């Protein structure tokens, strides 16, 4: 079953400071979103696995475009993913993005190890979702715990799903609460 894309959106924020010293190189945080028709709107579908597999192509396309907008895969230090299911759908229909979007993002970024943080909800037009961010190689790098907002003013409609990928070129601009530093990543198991 092919997915029907109504629209996509790429957005990049450039952050120079958060009331502290101006950064020499700004933090860039990007979101790549796609609104698709939910093929299961209004009904229960027992087997979501074929839909999940088909969405890998969408994930790969969004991840590739977002990486290009942020300056290349070697610039990406943090990532996350989000889903907003329209009111005629169910949360599990959005959960297919955990594997499809996460797998695609990892493939495009060269197989980083850390879990891809995620958020999902059921909502209507203009719903806002704060997507968590984490370091791509080690979950315990506190400086890279952040959020990025995903929203589209005219979606999702009742029979749609918004799938989103989020990436950042670094951690919070003025991180200073301790914890594992990027330079201290050593186990390369996605944890530390």
pLDDT in tens, 78-127: 999 999 999 999 999 999 999 999 999 999 999 999 999 999 999 999 99
Q: For the chain, which residues make up each domain, given as ranges?
A: 5-184
**Backbone phi and psi for residue 109, each to the nearest 5 degrees, phi listed first:** -90, 0
Distance (Å, whole) CA 137 – CA 133: 12
Q: What is the pLDDT of residue 2?
A: 74
Confidence at 192, pLDDT banded by 50, 70, 90:
confident
Q: What is the pLDDT of residue 110?
A: 97
Q: Is 31 helix (H, G, I), strand (E, B) or coil?
A: strand
Confidence at 1, pLDDT banded by 50, 70, 90:
very low
Look at phi and psi of residue 73 and say left if phi exceeds 0, alpha if psi is from -120 to 50, else beta: alpha
The CATH class for the domain spanning 5-184 reads alpha beta
Summarised one tens digit per residue, pLDDT across range 7-34 is: 999 999 999 999 999 999 999 999 999 9
The pTM assigned to this predicted structure is 0.95
Tokens of 169: 């070129």
Of 118, 115, 146, the closest CA to residue 133 belongs to: 146
Distance (Å, whole) CA 14 – CA 1: 38
Q: What is the pLDDT of residue 169?
A: 98
Tokens of 22: 């101006």
Distance (Å, whole) CA 60 – CA 80: 14
Tokens of 23: 């950064």
Q: Hey, what's the torsion of the CAs at 54, 55, 60, 66, to 10 degrees? A: 160
């Amino acid at each position: 079953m092919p997915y029907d894309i109504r629209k996509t959106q790429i957005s990049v924020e450039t952050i120079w400071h958060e009331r502290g010293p101006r950064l020499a190189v700004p933090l860039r945080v990007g979101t790549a979103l796609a609104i698709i028709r939910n093929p299961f709107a209004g009904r229960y579908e027992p087997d979501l696995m074929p839909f999940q597999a088909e969405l890998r192509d969408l994930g790969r396309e969004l991840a590739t475009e977002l990486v290009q907008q942020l300056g290349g895969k070697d610039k990406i230090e943090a990532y996350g993913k989000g889903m907003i299911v329209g009111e005629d759908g169910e949360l599990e229909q959005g959960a297919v993005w955990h594997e499809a979007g996460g797998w695609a993002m990892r493939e495009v970024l060269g197989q980083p190890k850390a879990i891809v943080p995620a958020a999902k909800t059921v909502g209507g037009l203009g719903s806002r979702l704060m997507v968590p961010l984490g370091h791509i190689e080690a979950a315990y790098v506190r400086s890279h715990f952040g959020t990025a907002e995903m929203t589209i003013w005219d979606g999702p409609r009742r029979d749609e799903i918004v799938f989103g990928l989020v990436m950042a070129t670094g951690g919070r601009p003025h991180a200073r609460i301790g914890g594992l530093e990027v330079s201290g990543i050593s186990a390369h198991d996605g944890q530390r």
